[in-house]
């Protein structure tokens, strides 16, 4: 087995990897920038190596410094987590060339699946359903060629970057008069984000669901799926709430999509953990291949909570050359799990990212509650990186139990010093359409356009109570939150909290 791992990441995923490593008697080593000297992942590690200034390009994206850190710390393997260098084939090759074990898929699979055009063709050849679309073989974008293809596919169409994802280089075009501007904008943004202007076109599916399947494969030709996650609650194409099982799938549809996900893995000679993402056209009961994420996903905890499988630990086993320990028919799901991502953002100001000192932190506990955190009290939330602070997961024997537990947990999550998305997420979870399981990728712009936050006084009181400040008296936790979520409210806010200002504690 492997003995010492360099975790080439930061925040909650770095902490999660380190905890899994320890269960396998693998010593975790952190890397950190100057901005992260006191960060939680540095404190959790057995050892830590500084790799540069705060800017990611000079630290967490600097391959040479990370490889040097691994050698300096005596590591025999590297885990990239997600984000940063996790889906860079050049990094995977550099790790292997340095004589280290790479905890992830092969560089060849990363290259193939990172190119949306090549991966789409691979899936078509493997018999995995794809949306009707067009991708030019030319390196240059020919507007006339693409316009003709759009007319043949039929409007509306979606123009997407060939070399990346995350919503960058993506435009919805609803008619011929919008096409030129949409094509030019998508190609320009793709060039800026990925250094590659190539785009492709797909039929735009109105009000789709985003459903993905967790997959795993080993070096011996075995591949399985570990069921689905529904990730339809998104803002700007970024997921904010994920759950499993999906309310949309029948057992038969689940089996069909799972089989397609395993086909996708085998067609790309994939190894280790990955996620096959599909668009699900609910009214037509059809699904289409979207992409493969060649890494562990942010939302992997909901799969762990319902299958009982430690996915990160499994990554280490597979990277060490072991066979998958489960056959497909041995993997079962039990109960329901829902995850909410807490960001240092102000949802009432267009999800504007925030940074600053975390003056007070209180994380929820209780039955059916899991918190994967990447922050610690009295340390700054830095401005240089993705603003995710933590993931809060609610689990239960059924969806309603998991949902209510998660609402209670979010009401008990207190972060004083920066605004967070916790109040917004509680409102989403309490919305009648979410309660009914009717979730689509345009859920947030449809139901929460112009969301301005909860009543500031009620929210301030609730946070103060959760922080143990002030006297308790009957009160409301705000709209959409169970009445006992904060066990009453404080009549006033004494002490240092009174002078912080509402923006400092995440309310408007």
Catalytic residue numbers read 295
Q: Phi and psi at residue 475, in whole multiples of 5°? A: -175, 180
What is the side-by-side strand order in the sheet with 157-161? 133-134, 199-203, 157-161, 171-173
Alpha carbon separation from 310 to 239, 258, 344, 375, 441 (Å, rounded): 22, 20, 27, 22, 28
Alpha carbon separation from 453 to 419, 424, 449 (Å, rounded): 11, 7, 11
**Inter-residue contact 345 to 419 (CB < 8 Å):** yes
H/E element holding 418? none
- From 451, 81, 14, select the one nearest 272 (Cα to Cα): 81
For every residue of 163-187, DSSP letters joined together read S--TTTT-EEE-SHHHHHHHHHHHH
Q: Where are the alpha helices (DSSP H) in 308-346?
A: 311-319
**Bond before 84 cis per omega within 30 degrees:** no
- From 419, 439, 396, 105, select the one nearest 249 (Cα to Cα): 439
Alpha carbon separation from 433 to 274, 405, 430 (Å, rounded): 30, 18, 9
């Amino acid at each position: 087995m492997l003995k010492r791992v360099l975790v080439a990441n930061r925040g909650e995923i770095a902490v999660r990897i380190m905890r899994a490593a320890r269960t396998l008697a693998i010593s975790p080593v952190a890397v950190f920038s100057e901005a992260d000297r006191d960060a939680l992942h540095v404190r959790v590690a057995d050892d830590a190596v500084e790799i540069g200034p705060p800017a990611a390009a000079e630290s967490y994206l600097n391959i040479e410094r990370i490889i040097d850190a691994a050698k300096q710390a005596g590591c025999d393997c590297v885990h990239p987590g997600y984000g940063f260098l996790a889906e860079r084939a050049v990094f995977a090759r550099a790790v292997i060339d340095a004589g280290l074990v790479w905890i992830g898929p092969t560089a060849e699979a990363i290259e193939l699946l990172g190119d949306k055009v090549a991966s789409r063709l691979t899936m078509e050849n493997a018999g995995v359903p794809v949306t009707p679309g067009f991708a030019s073989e030319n390196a240059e974008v020919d507007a006339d060629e693409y316009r003709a293809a759009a007319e043949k596919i039929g409007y509306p169409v979606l123009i997407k970057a060939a070399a990346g994802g995350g919503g960058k280089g993506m435009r919805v075009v609803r008619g011929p008069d919008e096409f030129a501007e949409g094509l030019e904008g998508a190609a320009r943004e793709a060039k800026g984000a990925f250094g590659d202007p190539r785009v492709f076109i797909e039929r735009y599916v109105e009000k789709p669901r985003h459903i993905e399947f967790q997959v795993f494969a080993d070096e011996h030709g075995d591949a399985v799926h570990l069921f689905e996650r529904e990730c339809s609650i998104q803002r700007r194409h970024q997921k904010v709430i994920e759950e499993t099982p999906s309310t949309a799938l029948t057992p038969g549809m689940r089996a069909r999509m799972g089989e397609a996900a395993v086909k996708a893995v085998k067609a790309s000679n994939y190894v280790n953990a990955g996620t096959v993402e599909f668009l699900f056209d609910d009214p037509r009961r059809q699904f289409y291949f979207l992409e493969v994420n060649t890494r562990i996903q942010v939302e992997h905890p909901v799969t762990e909570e319902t299958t009982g499988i430690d996915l990160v630990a499994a990554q280490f086993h597979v990277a060490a050359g072991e066979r998958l320990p489960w056959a497909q028919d041995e993997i079962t799901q039990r109960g329901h799990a829902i995850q909410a991502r807490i960001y240092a953002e102000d949802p009432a100001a267009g999800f504007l990212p925030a940074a600053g000192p975390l003056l007070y932190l209180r994380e929820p506990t209780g039955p059916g509650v899991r918190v994967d955190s990447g922050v610690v009290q009295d340390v700054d939330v830095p401005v240089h990186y993705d603003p995710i602070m933590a993931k809060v997961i609610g689990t239960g024997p059924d969806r309603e139990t998991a949902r209510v537990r998660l609402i209670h947990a979010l009401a008990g999550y207190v972060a004083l010093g920066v605004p967070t998305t916790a109040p917004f997420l509680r409102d989403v979870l309490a919305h009648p359409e979410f309660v009914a399981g009717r979730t689509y990728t345009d859920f947030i712009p449809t139901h929460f356009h112009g969301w301005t936050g909860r009543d500031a006084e009620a929210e301030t009181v609730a946070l103060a109570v959760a922080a143990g400040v002030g006297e308790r008296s009957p009160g409301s936790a705000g709209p959409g939150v169970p009445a006992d979520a904060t066990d009453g409210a404080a009549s006033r806010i004494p002490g240092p909290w009174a002078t912080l200002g509402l923006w400092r504690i995440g309310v408007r």
